[in-house]
Structure 1
Amino acid sequence: MAETKTAESNLDDLLANEEDLENALCVLAGSDPENCSYSRGYVKRQAVFACNTCTPNAAQPAGICLACANKCHDGHDIFELYTKRNFRCDCGNGKFGDFRCQLIPAKDEENVKNLYNHNFSGCYCSCDRPYPDMEDQVNDEMIQCVVCEDWFHTRHLRCTVAEPEELQEMLCEACMNKAPFLWTYAAHFAVSPEEDEEVDVVEVEEKRHVSGSSKISLEEPSTSLEYKDQEGAATRSLPCKRSHDDMTDRPGETKTASCKLKDLQAQNVARPRRGAVFWPSGWRSRLCTCTSCKRAYVAAQVHFLMDESDSVLAYENRGLVEPFGQHPLMAVTSSMNRVQQLEFIYGYNELTTALTTFFHQCAAENKVITAEAVHQFFEELQAKKRRRTNMGYQ
């Protein structure tokens, strides 16, 4: 019975490792590993990296695409930033001094529309710590906010963390407060928080999206020319569709569109305005897209929430269906059957874990990594594999 439980446990770990590896490869598959993305402009979403060797100054953050990380910065100290939206490759621009991109040498001095945060300096979360953090004794996973795209330890989200299968995306508390009207939606169809202490609740009778000096009225449009330009851009980015009612209206009749947000506010449902919010699959499609709400999204700089294809999941799915290039590990496993794939992934994860431990141990003991030490490491790894095989494990 004990042996059966161990085998089941190993299989569960194996499947989890396979899923983690597949997710990591999906991120890379959606980006071009051979050609610098600079010529494509501000790419809707792509894998982005930061080079601590070339741009170590936090005051001058810079990001590079997958191809430049492979070709131009091979062997450098690289931070993997997962994906970023609307980002243009910085490799070789004015932030890199005399260093020039090998793939597209001629670039603007700066990509003024790029957004940066402390991730580009290798720090994450509200605790501003590196990842991996060798001083952190807590085994805690990190989750990315869909708006600011920073990564947070689950223990620093100030909320109950939903199980992965229950959620689609997460918004941190700071981003929720930058777009306060989202608390109304959260009260109706986001994952419910635990009621563990007294906190402020959503004002269910509010007639404006935001309170204070930066109010965005649901009824009163802005007269600012810049604001009108932003609104027009947001409206043009949406598909032009006409409903049956629109097409059958008589000339001269005025049709009043209903605001979903106002309808939800009228239902008097409250939720604590505290902590991160976890959203289920398809939540973006339930946001109101009336004219007033579009203005609010633009003003709060969350207009991309109206676009379901903006999500990381949509990006990963595109990478699976139409990848830019095949990752070497994908090429290796594609010809294997299910059992062989699992065995390969198990071995791959075992090797990477062992190597990470080996390097960290050498660094902690200030040991120089010699050829003899590496040879001994692989000898011990091979011996461990033989012992596992002799015991009946494959």
Structure 2
Amino acid sequence: MAARKGDSDINNILSSEEELEEALCVLAGSDPENCSYSKGYVKRQAVFACNTCTPSDAEPAGVCLACVNKCHDGHDIFELYTKRNFRCDCGNRKFGGFQCQLNPVSPLNLNLYSHNFRGIYCTCGRPYPDADDQDDNEMIQCVVCEDWFHSRHLGCPVAEPEELQEMVCEACMNKAPFLWTYAARIAVPPVIHVSDPEEEVQVDVEGEDNEDRHRRGEEPSFSEEPVNRSSPGKRTHEEMTGRPAKGTTKIVECKLKELQARGLERLRQGAVFWPYSWRAELCTCTSCKRAYVAAGVQFLLDQSDTILAYEKRGLEEPFGQHPLMALINSMDHVQQLEVIYGFNELTTSISEFLDQCASEGKTVTVEAVHQFFEELKARKRRRTSDGNQ
């Protein structure tokens, strides 16, 4: 389903094994131990921004999962979910004298940076979570610009989660206007305006051929089998050989032209929600491929670009086979990061506890472990109490 951020309560999160599974899915596809810089511009990975090292008045920068764990532990971190074609910035000139612990200082990268790297989202430019916003905080990610939008700022009704896979915001739809043509047929819901209802019926009449369309002054449909006007019993050169006759060019079907010929339109307003496998419906003819490149959305033709494909790859990796992954499967993606932060904090605290016992020569007893967890609970209650004041 579409990537969503929602209100989160850490107590509710930890009480649900299914939610805990989903919390780690977004991180399973990224390496938690090794900086991703050497891999170049990674097709998709979990990306973070560090407000401690690169505050809002500095140049925007992003770091990989491993660097968040190793280099920026305890810093003020913005989770950015995943970004495509991103190279880790940790330790480059944007960080001043800060040194990456996993990788030598690197030159500046050619990443794309948005206001998300400042910790703000949506057309309203607000942070998430927003302490000043008392309304529903659900946010949905655009698969093109990868910004997050409040559902109330999408300019359209929000489809039910089980009906959709991805969302494209209005601004990105207008940057690739041919997507509106596809939206009239396959988006959720297909809000269609037909200028002449009778014309649509005629277009869809079974058995109608291109000659009939030509008489009405319409474009031909390239999806139809060509009508053989030769006498019965004769076959064309192409039918006999499977190749066009010498000196002729075989017409390549264009799904976009076919949809345009049907005369269906969708109101070009608001974000658009797309069903599962919608990318497979996009035309891949040479002309359309050029249009995708010109609009900067050629990645839409890559089925492995989707979030679900990224998470599936992660679950096939060794990290994804960790016993914890048996617990995770249905949490929104901000909750995922909140849980992983909590998990990292817990493991850090346990490591510090064990190191302290070792340095003091103490034996780790059951009573000491119980006391340790009681202190963690008390610390959490104090933080919760302070946050409610």
Bucket of the pairwise TM-score, normalised by the shorter protein: 0.5 to 0.7
Structure with the bigger RCO (C-alpha within 8 Å, sep 6+) is 2
Matched to 1:87, the amino acid is: F
CA contact (8 A) 1:144 1:170 kept: yes
Report what 1:118 is aligned to: 115
CA contact (8 A) 2:21 2:324 kept: no
Matched to 1:180, the amino acid is: P
- Give the TM-score, by structure 2 length: 0.67
Structure 1 stretches of 5 or more lacking a match? 1-12, 205-243, 339-344, 356-371, 382-394
> 2:26 is paired with a residue of what secondary structure?
helix
> 1:299 is paired with a residue of what secondary structure?
helix
- Evaluate the alpha carbon distance shift between residue 379 and residue 71 of structure 1 in structure 2; reply closer, same or farther with a 3 A threshold: closer
Equivalent positions of 1:371-382 (< 5 A) are 376=378
- Evaluate the alpha carbon distance shift between residue 312 and residue 376 of structure 1 in structure 2; reply closer, same or farther with a 3 A threshold: closer
1:272 is the counterpart of 2:267: yes
Equivalent-residue separation in structure 2 for 1:276 and 1:40 (angstroms): 34
Equivalent-residue separation in structure 1 for 2:183 and 2:14 (angstroms): 33
Report what 2:232 is aligned to: none
- Evaluate the alpha carbon distance shift between residue 45 and residue 376 of structure 1 in structure 2; reply closer, same or farther with a 3 A threshold: closer
> 2:273 is paired with a residue of what secondary structure?
strand
- Evaluate the alpha carbon distance shift between residue 56 and residue 190 of structure 1 in structure 2; reply closer, same or farther with a 3 A threshold: same
Equivalent-residue separation in structure 2 for 1:380 and 1:59 (angstroms): 33
| Distance apart, 1:22 and its partner CA | 2.3
1:311 is the counterpart of 2:320: no
Question: Percent of counterpart pairs with the same letter?
Answer: 66
> 1:21 is paired with a residue of what secondary structure?
helix
Runs of 4+ residues deviating >2 angstroms: 13-24, 250-254, 330-334, 372-381
Report what 2:60 is aligned to: 61
CA contact (8 A) 1:187 1:271 kept: yes
Report what 1:224 is aligned to: none
Matched to 2:285, the amino acid is: C
1:176 is the counterpart of 2:191: no
1:288 is the counterpart of 2:294: no
CA contact (8 A) 1:159 1:193 kept: no
Matched to 2:87, the amino acid is: R
- Give the TM-score, by structure 1 length: 0.66
Within the candidate set 142, 164, 167, 1:167 is matched to: 164
CA contact (8 A) 2:46 2:65 kept: yes
Equivalent positions of 1:238-387 (< 5 A) are 248-249=242-243, 252=246, 253-323=248-318, 325=319, 331-332=323-324, 334=326, 376=378
| Distance apart, 1:187 and its partner CA | 0.4
Per-residue CA distance 1:297-325 (angstroms, 9 max, x = gap): 001000000111101111011111225x2
> 1:48 is paired with a residue of what secondary structure?
strand
Equivalent-residue separation in structure 1 for 2:174 and 2:52 (angstroms): 36
Report what 1:22 is aligned to: 21
| Distance apart, 1:255 and its partner CA | 1.3
Report what 2:141 is aligned to: 144
- Evaluate the alpha carbon distance shift between residue 193 and residue 19 of structure 1 in structure 2; reply closer, same or farther with a 3 A threshold: farther
| Distance apart, 1:57 and its partner CA | 3.4
Moved more, 250-259 or 267-276: 250-259
Matched to 1:295, the amino acid is: R
- Evaluate the alpha carbon distance shift between residue 378 and residue 44 of structure 1 in structure 2; reply closer, same or farther with a 3 A threshold: closer
Q: Could you say what the CA RMSD is over the residues aligned between the two structures, in angstroms?
A: 3.4
1:98 is the counterpart of 2:97: yes
Structure 2 stretches of 5 or more lacking a match? 1-11, 200-237, 330-334, 346-373, 384-389
- Evaluate the alpha carbon distance shift between residue 120 and residue 333 of structure 1 in structure 2; reply closer, same or farther with a 3 A threshold: closer
CA contact (8 A) 1:43 1:86 kept: yes
